[in-house]
Amino acid sequence: MSKLLSALVVVVLALSGCGTAESSGGGEVVLKVGDQKGGSKSLLTAAGLLDDFPYRIEWSTFTSGPPLLEAASAGAIDVGGVGNTPPIFAAAANAKIAAVYAAQGSVEGDALLVPADSPLKSVPELKGRSIAVAKGSSAHGQVLLTLASAGLTTKDVTLNFLQPSDAYSAFTQKRVDAWAVWDPYTSQAQLEAGARALTDGRGKSNGYTFQVAGRAALADPGKEAAVKEFVRRVSRAQRWADTHREEWASVWAAETGLKVEVARAAVERGGDLPVKLDGAVVASEQELADAFTADGTLPGKVDFEEFVDTRFQGELS
């Protein structure tokens, strides 16, 4: 197992920049970025968009979106990338965050996996079974929607809330019947553990990902400028990766310790591409939030629009 798969690995890497901009508190602006395995740092590195970044970056790496957004709300990081579900759970907790950038990608890698020799062949057969999933992650949303497609709810199964490293162990040791997860973990489990996709996100998940900023960072002029430049470069990097898949896979593997064939499999499913953070995105996320409320997973109604900030949209064309 790669150390990058530990339950919560926080790695802080200081990258020197050439900027001298100051925050409201005085001094050089340091942008604190939350990342996930094979996330923004790998992508920006592959696209060559970090070398001349005009601010110093401190990277903190998390194994899923919910703890990343907890850090953003607390001001421990300024911005970070997550899937479609973590902002909903953060909003339910009234976190001090706002989605500032949206992208959309293939949902084939958002899979519900079973061992190769599992007797399970269809989603209805999950009733009464156990599923490993990171609570509040995009995979949690995938589980909810997958079960709903078969007329089931989360009460019809046992959800084992585990971060990816623990889930991988439980899955390979057959202590759970299924595992809901995202790429590159999906590709890794399929290629290295022989996992089989019982179903994936096609026809169910909206495929959205977000860059989410802390409210404190957005209120600081220096940090705000750094966040704006960061999301602009994420947008450019995502477009670059879509047209340089082999090169992206090679760098991704080198940056994360993944086997090249694992990175290549994940990349070939198709990466995220920028989309406008508009009413259609908000409506789709609201629908997912309402599904969680109806399921009883979240107390009360979440107004997703209150946790969206479109100030950078004119910079991302």
Q: Is the pLDDT confidence value at 138 over 70? A: yes
Of the spans 20-24, 62-66, 159-163, which averages the highest pLDDT? Answer: 159-163
280 and 192 belong to one structural domain: no
The pLDDT tens digits of the residues spanning 85-106 come to 999 999 999 999 999 999 999 8
Q: Is the pLDDT confidence value at 3 over 70? A: no
Summarize the chain as % helix, strand, coil (round to 5).
Answer: 45, 20, 35
As a whole number, the mean pLDDT across the chain is 90
Question: Nearest-CA neighbor of 263 among 274, 251, 273, 275?
Answer: 251
14 and 141 belong to one structural domain: no
236 close to 47: Cβ distance less than 8 angstroms = yes
The pLDDT tens digits of the residues spanning 225-281 come to 999 999 999 999 999 999 999 999 998 898 888 899 999 999 999 889 999 999 999
Residue 45's domain comprises 3-105+207-315
Beta carbons within 8 Å of 228's beta carbon, 6+ residues apart = 312, 315
Query: Phi then psi for 259, rounded to 5 degrees?
Result: -65, 145
242 and 302 belong to one structural domain: yes
101 and 192 belong to one structural domain: no
34 close to 58: Cβ distance less than 8 angstroms = no
Query: Phi then psi for 268, rounded to 5 degrees?
Result: -70, -15
Q: What is the CATH number of the domain that holds 283?
A: 3.40.190.10
β-strand partners of 178: 131
Last residue of a domain, one of 147, 174, 200: 200
Across 200-205, average pLDDT: 90
Supply the pTM of this predicted model. 0.84
Domain count, the chain: 2
